Chain A
Amino acid sequence: MKPIQCIVICLFVSSFCFFSAIGQTITVQAPKVVEEGEFVHITYSINVRPGDNFKVSTVDGLQASGRPQTSTSNSIQIINGKTTSEYTYSETHQFRAIRKGVFKIPIASVVIDGKTISSKTQEIEVVAASSNNSAQRQSSGAAAQQAYQDPTPSSAGTDVFARVYTNKQTAYIGEPIYVSIKLYTQKNFNINTHTFPEFTGFYKKIIEQPQELKFEREVIDGKEYYSVLFQRLVLFPQKSGKLTITPFKLDCNVITQVGNSFWNMYNKQERRIIESKPVYIQVLPFPQGKTSDFNGAVGEFSITAKTDVQTIPANEAITYKFTIQGIGNLALLQKPTIDFPKDFEVYEPKIIDSYTTTTMGDKGSKTFEYVVIPRHEGNFTIPQVVMQVFNTETKTFKTITADAIQIAVTKGAVTNQVTTNFGTNKEQIQYSADDFRYIYTDDLQLHSISSYVIINPWFNGLFVILVLGAAVYIFVARKRIELYSNVTLLKQKQAAKVSKAYLKQAREFLNQGNDAAYYEAISKALFGYIGNKLSIPMTDFTVETIADTLHKKQVPEIIIQTCIEIVNQCEMARYAPIQSIEDKEQLFTKTSQVIQGIEQNV
């Protein structure tokens, strides 16, 4: 042997010894739930040779029956020149579950190299038997048998039948119901297909579903059957009312041995469809007493809330853990409503489930882990969380609370963004409740019911009195009104028109050569116009008053002079009517010019 080979072998052996010395554990394979009276097979395995000091403790409630079966397996693999060897020693113990309850399964221990190695503790739950297969049940008589569903559907023969067993017929919403689906047979058979029931209206959780069929012996009604477990599960009803679990269907070939002697026997195959009876479950609605804090939790729970820190700088993350612990419908619980301060940024919680499903529901805890970032400094309170839980035992609601948590947020590191974008970084403020205004606490300004003047006849009478008063006054003073307003106004407006008519007349008289009439018409045209236009009464009609009034009206001096000339000329012509035809013509033009001039200036 070459020295190098020697070293390699030595290394290999030593490493194998090294690995075998540490990390030895006994692994346990056992079902989680069994029914009362059933046999339980628990397999302990270890990958070292235990010698003869492998011991298994005894446990109250599980009765050891028969000798343990031992088996060893040894496998050596060579992959790419690497050799690994695996040795497994396993011992299968058979127990019989004799009582209901939760038990710790027997612990196996072995002493290797002076160290004691024990298997981990593991629990097994024994539930009430679905069938009257134990000795006690048989003796309790027919009454007890009636309480259970008829195990033998008439359609199927008594030699092979299926059954869906539930431990409750009535339940509240969310209350766990244990269900097992089994086939009972006295004959050998081959399964073609099988359909599991439909659990409409339930949330289901499968506890056990064997990969290969195992035959257990059970006694029902004095007859011995082999039972085959298909499924064990826990149901949580989701709505109230009568819910139906549809039948479990199995299509199989039943093998019957036909013949009367040892030599004259053969197997006969018969195809049968086996159906279990449908199961009805009455789901009760919750009784009175539900509040808005109830979120569907049914069972027995306690809640806690905690944060990793109490003091934190702004803009750093806090972990807020909200834990629901206990037994009940944990899997179905939604995240609680927690009123974080509005200034906190809250992210969707991480949900950590650590529970096992038992026939009593999920047992363990469910944690909601929130990451919360306070954005501003100050003292904040994460308020207490209130939850209402329905207890199916006492049929009452129980309120549980998780304490409020005070958080002091100190000033965080100032980021550049805040200082530069101060204006644009404003936040939309959020209101957490509707702003219902509080009552007035100041003076309520109480006053008696006031009287309304609008319906007072005296008030309305005032209007009438005013109108009457005005009417009487107008009646009394009507002459003054005529004098001062209406007539003067009318005359003023018509002055030019009237004078034009006189001038027209004067032109006719001039053409006819009627001098007296001509001067008459001219003076009427001028005096009438001036009298009407300037509101000068005929009694005050002198040259001086006319000149004065025209001066007041700021009429140009030339017009006033011409006007006076015309007046004088007219006066003269009345008494000495010897004038040339040119003078008469000139007088006419002058008069119309004066009237035009006054009309323009007044």
Chain B
Amino acid sequence: MYKRMKTLYSIVFVILSITFVNANNQLNDSIIQNAQRLYKAQQYDSVIVLYKSLISQGLVSDKLYFNLANAYYKQREIAQAILWYERAYVLNPYNEDIKNNLAIVQALQPDKVEQIQQSMLQLWYPYVYRFCNSNTWAVLSLVFFIGFIVCVLWFLFTKQRVYKKVSFFIALGSLGFAIITYINASYRYNELVKNQYAIVMESSLRILTEPNENAKELVVVHGGLRVKIEKKNGDWVSIRLSDGKVGWVQHFAIEKI
């Protein structure tokens, strides 16, 4: 009875706190404080509501996503927990805590899918382009390009053979760096904004061979599995499992990272 009253109280509090949110920093701070207190009191459902209210304001933070995922994990909602850990991971791929908890939760996910052998480039390239922010890469790219232009002019106007040689190689190098950093910036941007990966949200999901209710069933997977979105066809989405198999599901069964 006492616990029920406590839950009721916290729900009322949550509703009140949501009504008065006006993108006010102080209010947001108090929401975070309260979420922390409720987390300590193991009122995880209320914690989730509080964090969600922050996210619905358009606020982004890897730590916020991480905290939300923790609350979902405590509620044993594996699919939601994995989704938010993945989102936090995309924002900050170098965070130890996110990787650690994601691994723990993924161990609870029942499906075991074979991994396709990835090439060396596929393995280490994400570590490169995630090293900096998309905008940082873009600015770097611009700087290198300016360097390239300057070196070309230097090459054209110098009389000395030595300077010609030096400026030629610097120009070539900075053009290469400009191209690489530009590609990095666009990869990072695509990962953050146009992520192709999604998490299965339904606890048990039939993947079909065709975008049609009566189609043959390819395989049954469970909530929390990471799939790659291939293409869309109306309400149906074609997804690729990590073992390379492709099938169709309805769009609401999965959620993009």
Contact = CB atoms under 8 A, between A and B. Distances in A.
A449 B156 contact: no
A474 B193 CA distance: 40
Interface of A: 434-441, 444-450, 452-455, 459, 462-463, 466-467, 469-470, 473-474, 477, 480-481, 484-485, 488-489
A466 to B, nearest CB: 5
Contacts of B218: none
Contact of B134 (A435, A452, A467): A452
A582 B178 CA distance: 67
Interface of B: 28, 32, 36, 39, 54, 58-64, 66-67, 70-71, 73, 97, 100-101, 104, 134-135, 137-139, 142, 145-146, 149, 152-153, 156-159, 161, 164, 182, 185-186, 189, 192-193
28 contacts: A434-B104, A436-B70, A437-B101, A441-B36, A444-B63, A444-B64, A446-B61, A447-B60, A447-B61, A448-B58, A448-B60, A449-B58, A449-B60, A450-B60, A450-B135, A452-B138, A453-B135, A453-B139, A453-B185, A454-B138, A454-B186, A454-B189, A455-B189, A470-B149, A473-B153, A474-B156, A477-B157, A485-B159
Contacts of B146: 466
A473 B164 CA distance: 18
A284 to B, nearest CB: 28
B86 to A, nearest CB: 16
A466 B151 CA distance: 13
A474 B153 contact: yes
A435 B100 CA distance: 8
A480 B157 contact: yes
Contacts of A453: 134-135, 138-139, 185
A436 B182 CA distance: 38
Nearest to A492: B161
Contacts of A488: 159
A450 B188 CA distance: 13
Contacts of B193: 452
B202 to A, nearest CB: 25
Contacts of A473: 153
A485 B104 CA distance: 66
Interface centre among A434, A439, A454 (most CB of B within 10 A): A439
B185 A454 contact: yes
Contact of A446 (B60, B104, B142, B182): B60
A459 B138 contact: yes
Contacts of B104: 434, 436
A435 B67 CA distance: 15
A523 B45 CA distance: 101
B189 A436 contact: no
A447 B59 contact: yes
A433 B182 CA distance: 44
Given A444-B63, A447-B60, A462-B142, A438 B153 contact: no
A463 B61 contact: no
Given A449-B60, A453-B139, A481 B32 contact: no
Contacts of B164: 485
B32 A444 contact: yes
A327 B114 CA distance: 50
A485 B160 CA distance: 8
A470 B153 contact: yes
B34 to A, nearest CB: 12
